[in-house]
Structure 1
């Protein structure tokens, strides 16, 4: 089988595409990945062929402020609106042209793109099904589809049952479309028009245009809504890449005390004073071992923030950590709400303390609290006191760990996401033949 995969140059999203690429390449399939130059080595290490994104939309995800000035000054809805327009809407035409060029150069049995790869939407809207291969989405964010059963994506509000909840949701959806995200609607329609799309579209409903979507979400961590079709499948997290990080040399020194893992992910990690450093201060004298990840940044960028430039005795730090090994021993994870990390935590039955404020992180945090597997601090900059209290609550109340384990176990120990993707592609191909 020959597959074309595509992703924007954003670490949390390209990781999903790399997982799919490696899983299929290891089974002997011919895989091409359209991605940023920064990830060329990762693509090739996964056993796939690399296709570069156009330079104009190949930004550095480690310095999004350079690509999108003013981003750091915005919060809440304003921040999400700013990111949607700058990072996802403005790049649609160039992504679309790159996708069409790749498909014109070679013949592929199927296309799999990250759901936030906006160039796929105009391709689907301008190309009849009989003139293209099947196109599937991989989603590394919570479900965004508008619903009468939930508040619109971006407000981080949990569902409210009954007629009053439905009224609330209808009113909020109208407000988001007509007021809060009106600039996003305008920007998307302008980008689509440049690609030859004459009708309007709503970016949060893009999943409904794909031939199928693999949602990398555990079912217990997503709000129920009647608008979900059987073409959207809850696949759960992908397995960790075999080309991942080795265990750090201090791993054998961790000991038997409860491990509290803290991370700000790989994008929102320019300022460790937001979460990692406060967590280290909060737990420095507690009977736990704090294991921190810098998400690729130099460890010194963290230690320089601490008293005397040194780590407390109960803290260990690495640039990256192999999550399979780490989470199997972790008692609590303190996170800014990175989607993939939260799903993996649930898969391993790890309860959470979440402090999310950017991108989709407030939505992820709200789902964690709604599902009963952790505490949502409802801020991106919690104080050490609030962190210590929340970690203590989660450690003391075993209901959080039990609920996390219950959510993570629903897929079964033998669940194989890659085989499931292949099965869906084959099933669809057989249906078309019939």
Structure 2
């Protein structure tokens, strides 16, 4: 039996994707604990894991989100919003996260700590001599590459000489301007812990992990020659079933409709005026059934609905997607990957958080259309949906990635890789896992993991 400690940023998109992985490990007889946001306690315990809450209330954004803690946050847009969220959501909670994890490990050691892309405390705990760190990717790969522009700009890859020059210049600009406050805040914490400062930015911290589970197929990512060798593509884990969910009365209409369009804005950028309302207007009267999922908001707030529209707060995507012909989304990563797991082509319209990066890859991989805006017009939506329905190349591209996801192994493959890491960690005689050693000197660069490089396919 191995001992796993999951530790996740207190946001649904950072936490929920790993539920099936934890369930798989519990089912194999391993000990699984989970440190995270209080709002997810019931869902975490439903996996069979033991839940441990973030002790400092102001650091738990699952119960006190950034908008509540920092009024005016929602008015920021683009890179300024990304910068704010990285500092206040990821860096400033670090001391509390490290204290909590140290206390948990003192009470009960662990062989592997499993954290999402943005949970920086896991990297620091490993650097301090703690358990082996396994990361999992809840968004597109953000690792710096000489062949890609920095994360956050939503630019397609450019690997030629001019492209690499562009990428290098943009990388330096982003480090000095956008990511500088984040790096400074993390270095303050590093000094408190007795660690040397580093020039690394947030997207380089996962490079310290021994295994990095990317929750997507390889064909959704840009092929680069400098892919970190610890990256393993396992595809999106299958969401756990919700035993309390009951189909709405209109559910039989899904099989009667000729085409079904799903509209969703995820769990973060949920202003219905940005996508749901214009989508309902755009597709009113069309020969399709429009199913909109608000992510929690009351459907009554949308007013009178078109005759061909059905709106719900929540529908399990695993139940709905087999009936869907087009997924209209603002670019939430989890929803996009689940749509691809069912071979559903995509129309993307979102620019905040990581959504411009997701939607750029939607277009690049040939699975859909990127409208390149946060606020599409009804005409833009109508044209794009018609184009995706009429052109079979998009559905073909989506089915290609569906096949890749099936081959990747999903949560079972993720559990296999975590077991392998635990076996390797416990057999390493010169590593004291599960206890925190005195700080070790650093050179300001994080090592890359030992696993083999998994090359990405070229664009079809």
CA–CA separation in structure 2 for the residues paired with 1:25 and 1:163: 49
TM-score, reference length from structure 1: 0.92
Q: Does 1:421 align with 2:414?
A: yes
For 1:194-273, list aligned pairs within 5 A: 194-200=192-198, 201-243=200-242, 245-254=245-254, 255-269=256-270, 271-273=271-273
CA–CA separation in structure 1 for the residues paired with 2:135 and 2:232: 10
- 1:193 aligns with one of 176, 179, 191: 191
For 1:7-406, list aligned pairs within 5 A: 7-54=8-55, 55-60=57-62, 63-127=65-129, 132-200=130-198, 201-243=200-242, 245-254=245-254, 255-269=256-270, 271-301=271-301, 303=302, 309-406=303-400
Query: Does 399-408 or 197-206 show the bigger shift?
Result: 197-206
Cα deviation 1:104-150 (Å, max 9, x = unaligned): 111223221112112112212222xxxx3322111101111111110
Is the contact between residue 367 and residue 398 of structure 2 (CA under 8 Å) also seen in structure 1? yes
Are residues 427 and 17 of structure 1, via their aligned partners in 2, closer, same or farther at CA, if it must alter by over 3 Å? closer
Deviation at 1:430, TM superposition (A): 4.6
Q: Which has the higher contact order (CA 8 A, sep 6+)?
A: 2
Are residues 402 and 208 of structure 1, via their aligned partners in 2, closer, same or farther at CA, if it must alter by over 3 Å? same
CA–CA separation in structure 1 for the residues paired with 2:187 and 2:222: 28
Secondary structure in 1 aligned to 2:381?
helix
Deviation at 1:73, TM superposition (A): 1.4
Are residues 431 and 44 of structure 1, via their aligned partners in 2, closer, same or farther at CA, if it must alter by over 3 Å? closer
* 1:306 matched residue in structure 2: none
Secondary structure in 1 aligned to 2:120?
coil
Cα deviation 1:149-181 (Å, max 9, x = unaligned): 100001110102311111111111111112232
Deviation at 1:429, TM superposition (A): 4.5
Is the contact between residue 93 and residue 192 of structure 1 (CA under 8 Å) also seen in structure 2? no
Are residues 179 and 10 of structure 1, via their aligned partners in 2, closer, same or farther at CA, if it must alter by over 3 Å? same
Are residues 249 and 9 of structure 1, via their aligned partners in 2, closer, same or farther at CA, if it must alter by over 3 Å? farther
Secondary structure in 1 aligned to 2:347?
strand
Secondary structure in 1 aligned to 2:35?
strand
Secondary structure in 1 aligned to 2:263?
strand
CA–CA separation in structure 2 for the residues paired with 1:20 and 1:67: 31
TM-score, reference length from structure 2: 0.87
Is the contact between residue 6 and residue 34 of structure 2 (CA under 8 Å) also seen in structure 1? yes
Is the contact between residue 24 and residue 418 of structure 1 (CA under 8 Å) also seen in structure 2? no
CA–CA separation in structure 1 for the residues paired with 2:192 and 2:424: 34
- Measured on the aligned residues, the alpha-carbon RMSD in Å equals 1.8
Cα deviation 1:369-409 (Å, max 9, x = unaligned): 11111111111111111111111111111111111111221
Cα deviation 1:51-73 (Å, max 9, x = unaligned): 01022211236843112322221
Query: Does 378-387 or 106-115 show the bigger shift?
Result: 106-115
CA–CA separation in structure 2 for the residues paired with 1:86 and 1:151: 24
Deviation at 1:246, TM superposition (A): 3.9
Deviation at 1:77, TM superposition (A): 1.1
Are residues 140 and 246 of structure 1, via their aligned partners in 2, closer, same or farther at CA, if it must alter by over 3 Å? farther
Secondary structure in 2 aligned to 1:120?
helix
CA–CA separation in structure 1 for the residues paired with 2:40 and 2:179: 32
Gap regions ≥5 residues in structure 2: 429-460
Deviation at 1:262, TM superposition (A): 0.3
Cα deviation 1:88-111 (Å, max 9, x = unaligned): 111111112111211111122322
CA–CA separation in structure 2 for the residues paired with 1:281 and 1:61: 34
Equivalent pairs counted in the alignment come to 422
